[in-house]
Structure 1
Amino acid sequence: MGDAPGKASGRLRLAVIGTGLGSGPHFKSLHDLASEAEVAWVHARDATRLATAQLPHGAHKTTRLENILEDASVQAVLVLTPPNTHLPLVQRLARAGKHVLVEKPLEIDLARAQSLVQVCDSQGVMLAVMLQHRLRPAATRLRALLKTGELGQLVSASASVRWWRTQSYYDEPGRGTLARDGGGVLITQAIHTLDLLLSYTGLPTRVMGLANTSPVHTMEAEDCACALLHYANGAMATLQATTAAYPGFPERLELNGTLGSASLEAGVLQVAFMNGQTLSVGSQQDSGGGTDPMAFDHAAHRAVLQDFLDAVRQGREPAVTGRSALAAQQVIEAIMASSRSGCPVTL
């Protein structure tokens, strides 16, 4: 973010753009936070979908984006539309002085994602991203352990996302395409766990990857991917990602250090220290890894939205900034480039 956003106080006025599949947990979170945020407008291009959407009390429906852009009382906007629409929307919102929380991924490729971040920087508005795994209680506790050095130096890590999606999921227009989504399992599903891993380890120096479309699905983009990440200190990490693992399993992240090891699975942190102590934090959570992609609790969404509202009020950066979200897209592009060339990619 460039210049610090102006401080705001009281109940914030927001707008929401998009009422598709992924909007549900956002609207549930806004309902929970109704005492802190008022939804002034909900925009969608499809008037029929907009007419049937269950919207917050008092929100005005509109198919005209200018209603949001021209409303000076609207301080921030949630962008919940397909990835390939994010850049043009955020460009207009940023130039109108609106702070933005965008659904993941930032955009369909790294160049467009960087442009999105840059326009918010140049206009001095806040950009947050819904990468909610970072604010789960177990994930924040692990971050604290790493910050204090209690696990020692990173030796190795692994991230596994073995999810299931039916063919009917990919039969929806645009889903799993390069033009609308930017890819398949990496950028749409595994990006959450990959982003969390990178928030702990930082960027690797080299990436080797393989990706393909399995016989399970008929789709343009990949539904299976594996990668090896090399770090400057000699540490290595592996990534496995698929939506062809029936019936779907909890995502898992492991970090092995010189003083102990930690694992995160389905919202639960387990730590074993070399001094004999152990630690367990969190509770079992569904993540939408099976047939129903929306079968998960919205508490982590609410945490990201709560932080975003607080950041707008306090004039500070949000916990999940747009710039920090670029790392996952950089690694995803490296995995796909390595898969195409058969060679490692240096970052």
Structure 2
Amino acid sequence: MTATTGHPPGRRRVGVIGLGMASAPHAQSLIDLRDRVEVAGGFSPSAERRAGFAARFGLPVVDSLDALLDDPGLSAILLLTPPDTHADLVTRCAAAGKHVLLEKPLDATPAGARAVVAAMEGAGLTLGVMLQHRFRASVERLAGLMRDGTLGRPLSAAVAVRWWRDAAYYDQPGRGMKARDGGGVLLTQAIHTLDVFVGLLGLPDRVAGFAATSALRRIDTEDTVAAALRYGDGMLATIDATTAAYPGYPERIEIAGTGGSAVLTGDRLEVQLVGGDRIEVGQDGATLGGGADPMAFSHQHHRAVLSDFLDALDEGRPPRVDGREALKVHRLIEAILRASDGGTSVEVGTD
């Protein structure tokens, strides 16, 4: 293969499907990791988007999906299309024998999310999911403190994602609508912070909550959510999420344990231990992507996810966030919305 393609040994050929707004940090990551990966081509049904992608990033494009799926030298697909397309496209990738790195969420519907995971597992292929906030240095440090018992037993926790999206954001056809996106602030925006939360503390046993759509925009998904969570060991937690908080504020996770308290504000961690010691990691707490420009953030954590995905393929192991791991945050979101629809608390389901 090396002689015919001209790429160094071990350098993987990948394709990109979906060249919209979400493709930029992926393309930048692919360029950064060009010593490990070769882009065989990017595809969008839109000729305009293909031309724009090629001009902006200097990466090749193809004019059909089959040009990627039928390429025997291509081992993986970065799938960056809208959520309502995921189940179908992942199934096609699996049938073609391609590993997939999937932009969140797994799919627009609970059934579709499970179908995505089942298709890849059934084909014996690797599925990675772009839930990149777990790769923040502050989050990794807090996860370590939780594992080694520094914070003691968790007693109480709170999540706040008070972001802003302006009218222009919702002008794109289908944005904020169940038919395309599958969900609102929980599935589209807060999913990253909720995934970090679930990664740190696991899933609760029961959830109560309310979800509503504000008068700011004409969408059929929620943009304001308040929820309460109860864990089997007695810990209680709250979730406050909205895209109606102008001009947008850093997302926040607070955990109070028997050994001290931790606060994640954006990409900054502050820990105060009962004995008096303090731990501080990360930047000044400002968040990027929480205001009117959803793409105003560095691509460094996308690059970390892509690097881990490539490592997983090379080492024959699951990525840090694979399909099964991503299903956990989906189950939490589903439970909150079921609780809101039913006006009562509900059990969090298992797969």
Query: Which TM class, normalised by the smaller chain length?
Result: over 0.9
- The structure-2 alpha-carbon separation of the partners of 1:250 and 1:137, relative to structure 1 and needing over 3 Å to count, comes to same
Change (3 A) 1:149 1:10: same
Partner in structure 2 of residue 41 of structure 1? 41
Relative to structure 1, the CA distance from residue 54 to residue 250 in structure 2 (aligned partners, 3 Å threshold; closer, same or farther) is: farther
Aligned pairs (5 A) from 1:54-93 = 54=54, 59-93=59-93
| Conservation of the 8 A alpha-carbon contact between 1:255 and 1:263 | yes
Q: Is the 8 A contact 1:288 1:296 kept in 2?
A: yes
* Aligned residue in 1 for 2:301: 300
Aligned: 1:240 with 2:240 = yes
Is 1:310 the counterpart of 2:305 in the alignment?
A: no
Indicate the structure whose relative CO is greater, using CA pairs within 8 Å and at least 6 residues apart: 1
Checking the alignment, whether the CA contact within 8 Å between 1:27 and 1:56 is kept in structure 2 is no
Change beyond 3 A, Cα 1:172–1:126: same
User: What's the TM-score once normalised by structure 1's chain length?
Assistant: 0.95
Tell me what 2:99 maps to: 99
Are 1:109 and 1:329, in contact at CA under 8 Å, matched by a contact in 2? no
Give me the whole-angstrom Cα distance separating, in 2, the residues matched to 1:77 and 1:48: 21
Aligned partners of 1:122, 1:112: CA distance in 2, in Å?
A: 15
Find the aligned partners of 2:75 and 2:287 in 1 and give their Cα distance. Answer: 33
Q: CA deviation at 1:170?
A: 1.0
Judged with a 3 Å threshold, the aligned counterparts in structure 2 of structure 1 residues 205 and 68 are, in CA distance, closer, same or farther, namely: same
Q: Deviation digits for residues 66-113 of structure 1, max 9, x if unmatched?
A: 111111111111000000111111111112111110000000122211
* Contact in 1 for aligned 2:27/2:57 (Cα 8 Å): no
Matches within 5 A, 1:1-347: 10-54=10-54, 59-284=59-284, 286-347=287-348
- Give CA deviations for 1:162-217 in whole Å, capped at 9, x if unaligned: 00011121121010010110011110000000111001111110011101111222
- 35-44 or 52-61, larger mean C-alpha shift: 52-61
* 1:211 counterpart SS class: strand
Q: CA deviation at 1:55?
A: 6.0
* TM-score normalised by L of structure 2: 0.94
Aligned-partner Cα distance in 1 for 2:58–2:295: 25
Deviates more, 1:62-71 or 1:244-253: 62-71
Q: Percent identity?
A: 49
Q: CA deviation at 1:65?
A: 1.1
What secondary structure is seen at the aligned counterpart in 2 of 1:97? coil
The alpha-carbon deviation at position 220 of structure 1 amounts to 1.5
Aligned partner of residue 60 in structure 1, secondary structure: coil
Moved more, 60-69 or 203-212: 60-69
Deviation of 1:59 after TM superposition, in Å, equals: 4.1
* Separation in structure 1 between the aligned mates of residue 218 and residue 57 of structure 2, nearest angstrom: 41
